[in-house]
Amino acid sequence: MMYPSEPESRIAPLSTDGLRPEWLEILGRLPGTGLKGEGFPRNVLGILMQNQDTLGPFLDYWVTSKSKMGLTVREQELVILRMAILYRSEYVWKHHVKVAREFGINEAELDAIRQGAYTTIEAERERAFLELTDAFVNDRSLPPELWDRTRGVLGPRDFIDLISLVSQYVLFALVNVCIQVQLEPSVAGLPGIEP
């Protein structure tokens, strides 16, 4: 069940001016420019700063795994955008539309992700990642027929990397939806979950 958005975050974000230099260095390793500069997700990071003992290790795991996993950045962005739809997270969606465009995801593909209809996604591998993401979130499982169909397209590492990516964005999506993290003005005007 989705609840109406509230006018401010339920927990006030801390100032990201307090991000430690080593955390900024980690964040600087994120691929592309979409989450840097004006697209920097300062509000969600300000919320995650509420526990500074876990933030640094999480950021290192998150950024390192994104750069070391077998999914391309484009494949990762398709999955992240689908996670935003499944969790109804405008925050994740709007921040990642910017990144997705940078890595070649077009408007027809954004619509396909919104609708959960992947026929316009040309690469079989990308369609497999999206179908698996739906199963992981909606069923919290991997149905045998989907396993049989996708294991001919993806290797063992792909399945593990996808589970890792989905789990990372469960955290981001839940934080944003449950805490009602507010969008930064720089991304508020980007297309949302509803076109």
Query: Residue 183 belongs to a domain with what CATH number?
Result: 1.20.1290.10
**What pLDDT shows up at residue 142?**
97
Residue 90, domain member (yes or no): yes
**What pLDDT shows up at residue 3?**
62
Q: Which is nearest to 180 in space by CA: 56, 59, 49, 2?
A: 2
Residue 93, domain member (yes or no): yes
Q: What's the token pair of residue 30?
A: 């994120």
Q: Are 142 and 135 in contact (CB under 8 A)?
A: yes
Containing structural domain, residue 178: 70-188
Residue 117, domain member (yes or no): yes
**pLDDT tens-digit readout, 46-69:** 999 999 999 999 999 999 999 999
Q: Are 9 and 181 in contact (CB under 8 A)?
A: yes
**What pLDDT shows up at residue 2?**
58
The number of domains in the chain is 1
Residue 21, domain member (yes or no): no
Residue 49, domain member (yes or no): no
Residue 76, domain member (yes or no): yes
Residue 175, SS3 per DSSP: helix
- Region of poorest pLDDT, from 5-9, 29-33, 131-135: 5-9
**pLDDT tens-digit readout, 140-175:** 999 999 999 999 999 999 999 999 999 999 999 999
Q: For residue 61, how far is the Cα from the chain centroid?
A: 15
Residue 57, domain member (yes or no): no
Residue 6, domain member (yes or no): no
